Structure 1
Amino acid sequence: MEAAWLSIVPFLVVIPIAIFTKQVLPALFLGLLVGSYIMEPSIIGGMTTMFTYVVEAVIDPGNIKIIVFLYAFSGLVGMIKMTGGIRGFVEKASEKIQTRKQALLLTYVSTIGTFVAPTFRFVTIAPIMRALLKKVKMTTEELGFVIETTATPIIVLIPVATAFVGYMVSIIQIAAGNQGVELDPYSLFIQSIPFNFFSIVTIVLGVYLSFFHHSKDKSKAPTKLDDHVEEEEDWHNCHPAVGKELPIKPMNLLLPLIMVIVLTLFLTWWSGYEKGYGFPEAFIKAEVMEAMVIALLFTVVLSMILYLGQRFKLSNLIEGFIIGGNELMSVILLLSVVWGLSSITDDLGFSEFVTAHSGWIPQMFIAPLIFVFGAAVSYFIGSAWGTWGILMPLGISLALAGDVSLPLVIGAVFASGSFGAFASPLSDDTNTIAKILNLKVIDYAKYKLKPALIAAGITTVLYTIVTFII
């Protein structure tokens, strides 16, 4: 296509506007709008084109599964909060944890049951650590850093039952599909996990800071153990999910999580088994996204029955589910725009343009450049999901054009977004943990920027080295 260069115009709109406004969704929408008018340069035609692309993306069967998964997952978390599952876990754990070692071990071990989303991790672990802060003997900033290393960096590496996995698989699916890659997107996601070097390096730094580094500074954060702390500074007020008005029922958290994990594994195996495959191959050949959605729907129904048996009102459970689900509506809207934008740029010849004009980039630099560029973008926009949506089409196009491992480059894209979620003062992670631990957002972001940059430097070197090896 002679005008294939026009396919990069939407991205030239999206990236600077996202960085300038610190808002991803409006930037993606404007990029979609610009692409639509390039496709159909008339007042009504451009708007109609945009509408058509978004509708076609939303009604795609695979995309519908992802929308249902995201909404139902967030709705389940809403019911868990409302029924006192999170508060119950926090209360029971804080009663038994008395030493620094116990508290830090709990932070890591509890990942097994609270890995569904970063905010979920924060509201279950941070209040416990805040209540025990003086016994933990860490500065509040160090504590926040350690908690954050057990959130997004770990969650992006988990292939089932998280709020991230559906979105991440979808981003790979649309970008790879537009390039004509016939590999299963979930399989690509699994293969990319070992190459998310930033997350892996950050986890290692967190373990070091937890168990091998002892700060000489004394924390000045208000804690439950301080007799002079005023009532309004009680950790129960740090987040609505641990508020005093909620019941104390830890099993309302643990049972649904156990159900969704067990059912996901079973239905994934069953999906492959029905096709005639044996035990190991059944997981590889399964319809994983469908299995995850069905497992989640079963869990929602069974959890609702569990809560009704505890005499929670059906109307309150439905309200909690809807409120929880609606918290991800902005993400679902974001996905819809990303789907439409990806389709438009593909039809404009984006892959052909990248193939024709990326030959000057040495193969060894493709993965590290994608990571560094993506890390800069994610830092300034504060959104891992937005960064992934913007950069995945570019990353996969460059990987195919430069004959670089797809899992490696996909891992680099995910790593770049993880950097922004971890280090940016604009990210939800930074702001949530700062609020719970009573830290100033900018000061806390400055504190963790240095170790984040060290991890990013190590990550860049690793991508350069690994490119030679694989």
Structure 2
Amino acid sequence: MDGNWLSIIPFLLVIPIAMMTKQVLPGILIGLIAGAYLTNPAPIGGIETMLQYLVTALVDKNNIKIIVFLYVFSGLVGMIKVAGGIKGFVEAASERVDTKKEAILLTYVSTIGTFSAPSFRFVTIGPIMRALLKRVDMTKKELGFVIETTTTPIIVLIPIATAFVGYMVSVVELGLHNQNLKGDPYSLFIQSIPFNFFAIAIFLVGIYLSFFHHSSDGAQQKPNENGSEEDDWHNCDPAVSLDLPSKPWNLLLPLIVVIGLTLILTWWDGHQKGFGFFKAFIKANVLDAMVIALLITTFLTIFFFLFQKFELKMLIESFVFGGNNLMSVILLLSVIWGLASVTEDLGFSTFITDHTGWIPSILVPPILFLFGSAVSYFIGSAWGTWGILMPLGISMAAISGVSLPLVIGAVFASGTFGAFASPLSDDVNTLSRILGLQVMEYARFKLKAALIAVAISAACYTGITFIL
């Protein structure tokens, strides 16, 4: 079926269905089912084929490692919550905040200890900062904007110890595999980081608006005027509830250990292969290093918490609860892997090669970015956008001769825009709930800044092709 136009049908179904349902999974699942029936049109054959693609994806060695990483990382965060690590960190960090600039600075500095995942950061800094609004001249919308510009746009630029790394590397690996291209997916991810222009632009725009621009937003929106700070804390998230201990080192030590071990094991794997110090980090099997470092950190953290007299049953339950929070992501990953495989078997890569060569190479990165930004805005998912567009982006890069890291960065940037700006985004909805904001009103508040960053990014993607 090389070059078969039928290979694009699954993708043509994915995006409009995701937009109509406002959910990524239904669109991707229907795309997988359609592709399976195109491969095997028998009444039951399509379902059997779909199951085969899913099973094949789930038994892949690297895919299993990614699933283990995501589940264990989320489980570790669950244990840190009940051990009072989050509550202790936010309490210690907020003791001397009295002004708006100090509150903003605390929000930026807190990224150091809370960069592992958006939800982790929201429940860590969101409740305490909401409570502190009683003491500083700042609206909840302004606070939400500062928190979000220092969350996903920062996390996507950090190459270790985040819940994003494994997934981002996996979609790059998937695109390379579909095109039969050689290359280390983690190295390409590292090289693409400077080309995630939207993440960089919105962070810089955020700094300008936070520190050098006077907001003209309407009346100050305070938390419940009759409520207490303790009520805000207790009602926003159990991570800072009143009955938890306050132990900041229960957050900081696990993070220090997992980051340190990841770096050491990454270097050691490359060193064992005979490479020098710096090249060892590039040539190492980073996925293995990340998983092993995370597992060791989890075991050490359990012993550390048991030493503090936390109950083993409580730690296990919090680990399972935390891990289960990412089961929807793991399900999404499995369907995306299956969709990529079935479209490749239908001849997607060859079709793209035969029909997109007319696009000038200078326009490939900006077109991918702008198209991906539109998709991510309407479906509200960075991960869904990356899963949908990365195979397409790498295919277009291969046939146009455009730098792979540049195109990969453009795809990652497009998803980052949706996570930040879309009213359907999990980030936007979660933070709005924590801060007590109306979702659509809050999304409109920050859309202008997001579009400014989009314009800057599109210009950069167009201009950079003259250099690379």
TM-score range, shorter chain: over 0.9
Shift of 1:218: 5.2
What's the % identity of the aligned pairs?
66
Task: Check conservation: 1:159, 1:190, Cα contact below 8 A.
Answer: yes
Distance 1:333 1:134 in 2: 41
User: What is the CA–CA distance in structure 2 between the aligned matches of 1:231 and 1:123, rounded to whole Å?
Assistant: 15
Q: Deviations over 1:295-354 (max 9, x none)?
A: 000000000001111111111111100000011111111111111111111111111100
- Matched with 1:19 is 19
Equivalence map 1:414-425=2 (5 Å):
414-425=412-423
Q: Which amino acid aligns with 1:235?
A: W
Q: CA deviation at 1:9?
A: 0.6
- 1:15-34 per-residue CA deviation (whole Å, 9 max, x = no partner) reads 11011101111111111111
User: Mind listing any 5+ residue stretches in structure 2 that lack a counterpart?
Assistant: none
Unaligned runs of 5+ in 1: none
Q: How does 1:420-435 map to 2 (within 5 A)?
A: 420-435=418-433
Letter of the structure 2 residue corresponding to residue 239 of structure 1: D
Equivalent pair of 1:236/1:242 in contact (CA under 8 Å): yes
Q: 2:388 matched to which residue of 1?
A: 390
The 8 Å contact of residues 118 and 152 in structure 2, kept in 1 or not, is answered as: yes
Contact 1:221 1:437 in 2 (8 A): no
Residue 157 of structure 2 corresponds to residue 140 of structure 1:
no
* Match in the other structure for 1:309: 307
Residue 379 (structure 1) aligns with: 377
- d(CA) in 1 for partners of 2:110, 2:273: 36
Q: Which amino acid aligns with 1:143?
A: L
Contact 2:127 2:232 in 1 (8 A): no
Matched residues in 2 for 1:304 and 1:341: separation? 38
Q: TM-score, normalised by structure 2?
A: 0.97
Match of 2:103 in 1: 103
Shift of 1:230: 5.4
**How far is the alpha carbon of 1:236 from its aligned partner?**
2.9
Q: Within 5 A, what are the aligned runs for 1:251-290?
A: 251-290=249-288
The one-letter amino acid paired with 2:27 is A
1:43 corresponds to which letter in structure 2? P
Q: 2:222 maps to what in 1?
A: 221
Equivalent-residue separation in structure 2 for 1:383 and 1:430 (angstroms) = 11
CA distance in structure 2 between the aligned counterparts of 1:282 and 1:76, rounded to whole angstroms:
28
Q: Would you say the 8 A contact 1:83–1:249 is kept in 2?
A: yes
Superimposed CA distance per residue, residues 402-445 of structure 1 (whole angstroms, 9 cap, x where no aligned partner): 11111111111111100110001111111111112211111001
Q: Deviations over 1:274-306 (max 9, x none)?
A: 112221121111110000000000000000001
Contact 2:146–2:210 (8 Å) recurs in 1: yes
1:167-215 Cα offsets, whole Å, 9 max, x none, are: 0000110111110111000011001100100000000011112211233
Aligned-residue RMSD, C-alpha: 1.5
Q: Residue 82 of structure 2 aligns with which residue?
A: 82
Provide the residue aligned with 1:169 in structure 2. 169
Kept after mapping to 2: 8 A contact 1:137/1:218: no
Paired residue secondary structure (2:213): coil
Contact 1:94 1:131 in 2 (8 A): no
Matching residue of 1:208: 208
2:407 to 406, 409, 421: 409
* 1:131 CA displacement: 2.2
Q: Partners in 2 of 1:208 and 1:25 — Cα distance? A: 36
CA distance in 1, matches of 2:203, 2:444: 19
- Partner deviation per Cα, 1:356-414 (whole Å, 9 max, x = no partner): 00022111111111111111111111110011101111111111111111111111111
Partners of 1:87 and 1:250 within 8 A in 2 = yes
CA distance in structure 2 between the aligned counterparts of 1:269 and 1:106, rounded to whole angstroms = 33
Secondary structure at the aligned position of 2:465 is classed as helix
Q: CA deviation at 1:139?
A: 2.3
Read off the aligned partner of 1:219 and give its amino acid letter.
Q
Moved over 3 A (4+): 230-233
Taking structure 1 as the reference length, the TM-score comes to: 0.96
Q: Greater CA deviation, 367-376 or 121-130?
A: 121-130
Question: Which of 293, 296, 316 pairs up with 1:295?
Answer: 293
Aligned residue identity for 1:96: R
How many residue pairs end up in the alignment? 467
